[in-house]
A and B are shown apart, each in its own frame.
Chain A
Amino acid sequence: MSEGFDFYRWRPVIFGAVIVGAILICAIFAPLIAPYSPYDLDYMVMLQGPSATHWLGTDEIGRDILSRIIYGARISMQVAFIAAGIGLIFGTVIGVTAAYFGGITDMILMRFMELLFSFPAILLAVVLMASLGTSVLNAMIAIGIVFIPGFSRLARAATEVVLREQYVESARAIGMSHARILFREITPNIVAPLLVEAAIAFSYAILLESALSFLGLGAQPPEPTWGNMLNTGRGFMAQSAIMSIAPGMAIFLTVIGFNLIGDGLRDALDPHMKD
């Protein structure tokens, strides 16, 4: 097919990828980009607003906010990728399996998912952290597990729709193996809603991590994450709004980036929108 690259079709994805890419570069090359160390205190310049020396001002113990945001991208992005990845992979496998095999398999898997669903996300994460132990990696795993039921229900619903399509019946009648039907016929046709959900999970993971570190379960101070910066900033809203605004904007930009990628991919991958 002589279809050239269609810029307009991929525009939202490219735009989102530029934003997310920039944040990723910040995370990877933080020591080269950050103007100061994220840990160095300077009591002479506490709670300052933006200035030429400190572009985004300083926090309550005189640390450079821009540097902390840049370093904070490291943990926030790791959490987002790993947690959403765990939710996406395990949730999809469970949901597709439940819908495809049906009957008792479906019943057991989905009741277990509902069990996970019935706990508030934060409570579930706290319980999981308590049993896994406190570390950033365990926070990512706990947040990932929180996402599994959502992904699994979405995957199950999407699979049920695809299962009713005649091409799946044809595949069975031709004699395709379960594995081939699952990977070649079903999975490619349910990725679109899952990608959108993944984009939302990315943003939610960043927020959940901040809640966990606020409770003392995620990354511990002085380690900078956008979540704990936002939480600390809350206490100093009246004195220095930039302390909350800066990490808030960072989260906002990341969320926008991921959502653009998710929505854009859904549209760009829709075969009916070609031509």
Chain B
Amino acid sequence: MSQDLIRIRAVSKEFGATGWFKKPVGVKAVDGVTLAVKRGQTLGIVGESGSGKSTLLRMALRLIKPSSGTVEIDGQDIWTLQGAELKAFRRKVQPIFQNPASSFNPRQSIGQILVAPLEVHGIGDRDSRRAKVAALLERVGLPKDAIDRHPHQLSGGQKQRIAIARAVILQPEAVLADEPTSALDVSVQAQVLDLFDDIRRDLGLTAIFVSHNLAVIRQVSDQIAVMRHGSVVEYGEADQVFGDPQHEYTKTLIAAVPDHRKLMRAL
């Protein structure tokens, strides 16, 4: 068995008008990306908005079908999965999305939201599910009574904690996170990021973490891929990418990270 859990091979995605009366003009959101994530490690994908990083993540989650190329989990092409195998994949790989405001069904309580994955995969009975949800809420640092609240009654940071809880309740192998902290205040960002990192280490999760924020990526990633205009321009170990960036774009990105020492001097 290879040590790569997730392998993305020459994946492209072309969005375009596909109507009868429309000219078939395509936009390449992702263009021939090849990446791999080792078991237990975190790949950070960084890039500006429109660089195709979210599209890539959605293809790895089997939410968008690639125009070409394959995504493999454990050596299996995820788009050939069906029935029980597909269900197993849905249990193995979990998402965390960017926008805390739209990540949850506004008509369900936090308890209902967190119990849903267990119900869908037929894990446990009523009581054991409830106990599991309660334990997980405590683990992500939310009060017990949050279980009966509705999403709009929670803060953005609390919602992202719930999102993390939902992503790990099935004890998955991989968590794919799409800018989970970018909608939050900086102070809250750090707490949520710490929680994510903590839980990831505890459970030995493999992760892909997409962000436009280089500082965030640096904190959580083992490997880093820099994306621009749908392609990966730089890909390597985190220290190497930060210490010795090869591509011009990466250098610009790193130079653009506000350096607090310089800021202090300027003040």
Contacts and interface: CB of A to CB of B under 8 A. Distances in A.
Interface of A: 1, 165-167, 169-177, 180, 184-185, 188-189, 271-272, 274-275
A172 B106 CA distance: 17
Nearest to A188: B107
B153 A175 contact: no
Contact of A167 (B91, B104, B120): B104
A258 B42 CA distance: 56
8 contacts: A1-B149, A170-B103, A170-B166, A173-B63, A173-B94, A180-B120, A271-B150, A274-B150
Among A167, A171, A272, the one with the most B-chain Cβ atoms within 10 Å of its Cβ is A167
A173 B99 contact: no
A271 B107 contact: yes
Given A173-B63, A175-B86, A175-B121, 13 more contacts: A1-B149, A165-B102, A166-B102, A167-B102, A167-B104, A169-B63, A171-B116, A173-B95, A174-B90, A174-B94, A174-B117, A174-B120, A184-B105
B209 to A, nearest CB: 16
A184 B109 CA distance: 12
B86 to A, nearest CB: 8
A188 B105 contact: yes
Interface residues of B, number: 32
A30 to B, nearest CB: 39
B119 to A, nearest CB: 9
Interface string B93-135: 1110111001111111000000011001100000000000000
A172 B61 CA distance: 9
A169 B55 CA distance: 13
Interface string B154-172: 0000000000001000100
Nearest to B117: A174
B152 A271 contact: yes
B239 interface: no
Nearest to B178: A166
Contacts of B102: 165-167
B148 A1 contact: yes
B94 A189 contact: no
Contact of A173 (B90, B98, B149): B90
Contacts of A272: 106, 152
